[in-house]
A and B are shown apart, each in its own frame.
Chain A
Amino acid sequence: MRSLRLFAALCAAVVSLTAVPARADLKVVATLPDLAALAKAVGGDKADVTALALPTQDPHFVDAKPNLALALNRADLLIAAGLDLEIGWLPTLQMGARNNRIQTGNPGYLDASRSVSLLEVPAGQVDRSQGDVHPGGNPHYLYDPRQALKVAVAIEARMSQLDAKNAATYKANLGKFTQELQTAQAGWEKRLAGLKGVPVIAYHRTTAYLQDWLGFKTIAFLEPKPGIPPNPSHVAQVLAQGKSSQVKLVLKEDYYPDNIAKLVASKVPAALVTLPGGTDFRTGQTYVQRMDLMVGRLEKGLSGKGE
């Protein structure tokens, strides 16, 4: 009798040890911190969201660290930006994760680019002599809140499909997020109305969607071809173009080098604006806060106060 009770106690102890403490219903892994922020906005406390890349990291070049594969191993949903942005590292992680749910084509894999209106889809033949051209279209669509909203809608649909019992929560969260984003967006558009038609220089082709939204004109890129680092003769050319078109802003992400952008900005002269590379998701920043930060920096740049 006593041994039975001991056994029961032992069982209880084992069960309580192995039982997962109050876990969220849906484990979500997003490749980019922006996507993670959108997933968190929709998932709320029902979703446990992880981002694979940091906002300070160039999303083209992420190390396929095994601990990232471990996160994928335990995920119910993988959200990727798609359009080959992560082709250098995500396939390895997906294979190594041994998790069939999140393999390409299964419901646990969401290619967010499928829900946005793509820009810069090459019409003709593509090869690598053109640099790192994305044959499916430009993958940097999360700079445009209108596209981000479409992604959030797709995330809501997928989360509801995978976790039907929380569908109402996801729907409500999406509604809240939509309202918050659209209100903020109207404000941003008002603050940045002056950007319309303004010529700018960008570092990499990350500005396509941003300019589509805000109406500025990217007249040149510091990279001679996407993914190829700047070289003197190209920079000289860009600088001359910048001077003759009276460029107002030089845009670059956190993760691109400073010096050449600074030099060009000072020579034109134009304001250098460093765009956040993504949401600082780990510290709890939301997508709206990230966009707000970016809009603030653009606004400052527009008023002539770059960094």
Chain B
Amino acid sequence: MSSHPRRNPRALAVVLAAQLSASAAWAQQSTPPSTASPPPADAPAPAAPQSPEEAPALSPEEMAEIERALGTDTSTRARPSGDTSPASPTATNDSGTTPLKLPNAISGGTNFLNLSFILDMALAAFSSKEPLQGGGHDPTRNGFNLQQLELSIGSVVDPYFRFDSNIVFSQFGVEIEEAYVTTLDLPANLQVRAGQFLTRFGRINATHPHAWDFVDQPFVMSRYFGAEGNRGLGVEGSWLTPLPWYVEVIGSATDATGEATARSFFGASAERVLSPLDFQLTGAVKQFFPLSDDLSLMWGLSAATGPNDTGYRNHSTIYGTDLYLKFRPITSQSAQQLVLQAEVLYRRRQVPEDVLSDWGGYAQTVWRFSNRWATGLRYEFGSPAKTQEGRIATDPLDPEWISNRQRITAAVTFWPTEFSRLRLQAATDRVGWRESPDYSAFLAFEVVTGAHGAHAF
């Protein structure tokens, strides 16, 4: 019963993996000119003549020289990573939405909906029998993992609203991750979103896996918010202030329930909303500073508060700050870019007769050293929960979390084009309450197909 339904996705995964690497190799190597018979689909592009009689008669030395020159051409243009557009340039949300439609040539004239599919899968190896991977899209077991198949559908509804949704297919079912309406025409620089959405707490929470620089989610996110990141059914308002620099103020009220999405709050418990205090309230301020043409800084402050299920009117509050520093030279020819990103979160929870506090965070740097290659390093930290007196508490959510946990991750990414990605990642997880460090290695593939989403900053 269990083996048969599991085999299919695995087989699919293998085939996909093989095809992906083959196509990547194709993109990298291209075909030798002797076999260059272009596929019929190539016909419409007014391509340069590729007549076979002009086959190159180059010496091996010349070939070597070409390869050397290509190797030194690191300044090929930088491509943005494959994240797609949010409703606001500070939103790192990547709901695959774009107000532009599929060109008629592709959609055959019917272009009301933007559709895109994103497939993420990974081959994983863990040293531990029970790897501590908390994220819902993380690879969690040895062998092939289908991280997600995301279907993004979006469209402008009318002059006043647009609609976006992200539906995620896993091997075990279908989930509506996000489905919301965004206003298009509110006065005074206001914008409202209503529906189910990822809250804009910090930087990484509002993003989907294809916008991540690593295969898995920082553990602080799954520990504080849940496997799927913090999201809920609710309303969000945001305001772009009239200040001379970019300042966006965001506030939302969402249902505080959901085991995978509101872990520090009501979580899976069947609590009901009895008063406005029973909502999760999230607030954030995002500021952007263009330090120069090449260097930009984004700084965010966030807070979320909501009821938890440890007793009547007990609240959890999470504070966070996030920093994103990007160096991408555009004043001179260069493909390099260097990004530093960090988030620190601090959590306080009221529990019967005490207040527990803990903190965690991550800092990462990603260096894109050519247009197709990037490498990244991430450090994560999580402290155990402490009581008001400073003793290590028994955490009702993570009873085993009695000492510090640190994880160091390194990754290398290769993009054949901006629509596909291969990533090799390795990590060591120093879990304080385990006897020895855990190790993991992932080889992840991603393809994005469908409407071209715009890229968030």
Q: Which residues of A come within 8 Å of B, CB atoms?
A: 54, 56-58, 60-61, 63-70, 73, 84, 87-96, 98, 100, 103-104, 120, 122-133, 135-136, 218-221, 224-241, 244, 254-260, 262-263, 267
- Contact stretch, chosen from B74-82, B275-283, B385-393, B405-413: B74-82
Q: Name the residue in A58, A131, A132, A257 with the highest tally of chain B Cβ atoms < 10 Å from its Cβ.
A: A257
- Is the Cβ of B98 less than 8 Å from the Cβ of A91? yes
Q: Mark B17-37, 1 if CB is under 8 A from A, else 0.
A: 000000000011111110010
Task: Given contact pairs A54-B330, A123-B44, enumerate 14 new A-B contacts (beta carbons under 8 Å).
Answer: A54-B293, A61-B78, A61-B79, A65-B296, A95-B182, A96-B86, A96-B90, A98-B189, A124-B44, A220-B48, A229-B371, A236-B33, A258-B73, A263-B65
Query: Which residues of chain A have C-beta atoms less than 8 A from B75's C-beta?
Result: 257-258
Contact A56 B457 (CB under 8 A): no
- B189 touching A63 by the CB < 8 A rule? no
Cβ distance B72 to chain A, nearest Cβ, rounded Å: 5
**Is residue B57 contacting chain A, with contact meaning CB distance below 8 A?**
yes
Would you call A87 and B452 a contact (CB within 8 A)?
A: yes
A265 to chain B, nearest CB (A): 11
CB-defined contacts of B54 to chain A, threshold 8 Å? 237, 240-241, 244
A91 touches B85 (CB 8 A): yes
Interface of B is mostly: loop
Bound-state Cα–Cα, A129 to B185, Å:
38
Instruction: Answer whether A219 and B48 are a contact pair too, CB < 8 Å, given A61-B78, A65-B296, A230-B70.
Output: yes
Is there a chain A Cβ closer than 8 Å to B435's Cβ? no
The answer to whether B76 and A257 have CB atoms under 8 Å apart is yes
- The residues of B that contact A240 with a CB separation of less than 8 Å are 54-58
Closest to B32 in A: A233
B12 on interface, CB distance cutoff 8 Å: no
A135 touches B105 (CB 8 A): yes
Whether B103 lies near A67 (C-beta < 8 A) is no
**B417 contacts partner chain A, Cβ-Cβ < 8 Å:** yes
CB-CB under 8 A from A221, the residues of chain B are 48
Contact, CB under 8 Å: B246 / A69: yes
Contact of B88 among A84, A96, A124, A126 (CB under 8 A): A96
The 8 Å CB contact of B456, one of A64, A90, A259, is A64
Contact with A along B43-61 (1 / 0, CB 8 A): 1111011100011111000
Residues of chain B whose beta carbon lies under 8 Å from any beta carbon of chain A = 27-33, 36, 39, 41-46, 48-50, 54-58, 62-63, 65-67, 69-70, 72-80, 85-91, 97-100, 103-106, 162, 182, 184-186, 189-191, 240, 245-246, 248, 286, 288, 290, 293, 296, 298, 326, 328, 330-333, 335, 371-372, 417-419, 449, 452, 454-457
Within the assembled complex, what's the spacing in Å between the Cα atoms of A130 and B190? Answer: 41
Q: With contacts A91-B85, A135-B103, A255-B77 known, is A67 near B290, CB below 8 A?
A: yes
With A and B bound together, what is the CA distance between A142 and B32 in angstroms? Answer: 35
Q: Which residue of A lies closest to B449 (CB)?
A: A128
Contact A100 B76 (CB under 8 A): no
B73: nearest chain-A partner, CB-CB:
A257
Q: CA of A241 to CA of B248 in the docked complex: distance in angstroms?
A: 54
List the count of A-B residue pairs having beta carbons below 8 Å apart. 242
User: Do A64 and B454 contact each other (CB < 8 Å), given the known contacts A220-B48, A236-B66, A263-B65?
Assistant: yes
Residues of B contacting A87 in the complex (Cβ-Cβ under 8 angstroms): 98, 100, 452, 454
Report Cα–Cα, A87/B90, bound state, in Å: 18
Residues of B within 8 A of A226 (CB): 45
- Distance, CA A230 to CA B57, complexed state (A): 18
Residues of A within 8 A of B32 (CB): 233
For B100, the chain A residues whose CB sits under 8 A away are: 84, 87, 91, 104
Cα A124 to Cα B45 with chains together (Å) = 9
A-B contact pairs, 20 of them (CB 8 A): A66-B89, A66-B298, A93-B89, A96-B88, A96-B90, A100-B184, A122-B45, A124-B44, A125-B41, A128-B419, A130-B41, A229-B372, A231-B28, A234-B30, A239-B62, A240-B55, A254-B333, A255-B333, A256-B76, A256-B77
Let me know if B189 and A73 touch, CB within 8 A. yes
**Shortest CB distance A87–B (Å):** 5
Considering the complex, give the chain A residue whose CB is closest to the CB of B107: A135
Residues of B within 8 A of A238 (CB): 48
With contacts A65-B290, A129-B41 taken as known, whether A95 is within 8 angstroms of B56 at the C-beta atoms is: no
Say yes or no: A65 contacts B73, CB within 8 Å.
no
A101 to chain B, nearest CB (A): 10
CB distance from A143 to the nearest CB of B (A): 16
Q: Is the CB of A56 within 8 A of B58?
A: no
Q: Across the interface, which residues of A come within 8 angstroms of B103, CB to CB? A: 84, 126, 135-136
In the complex, the answer to whether B89 meets A69 with C-beta atoms within 8 Å is yes
CA distance A258 to B76 in the complex (A): 9
A96-B70 in contact given A63-B328, A129-B41 (Cβ < 8 Å) = no
Taking a contact as CB atoms under 8 Å apart, the answer to whether B27 and A92 are in contact is: no
What is the chain B residue whose CB lies nearest that of A94?
B99
Instruction: State whether B77 touches A58 (Cβ < 8 A).
Output: yes
B105/A126 in contact, CB under 8 A: yes
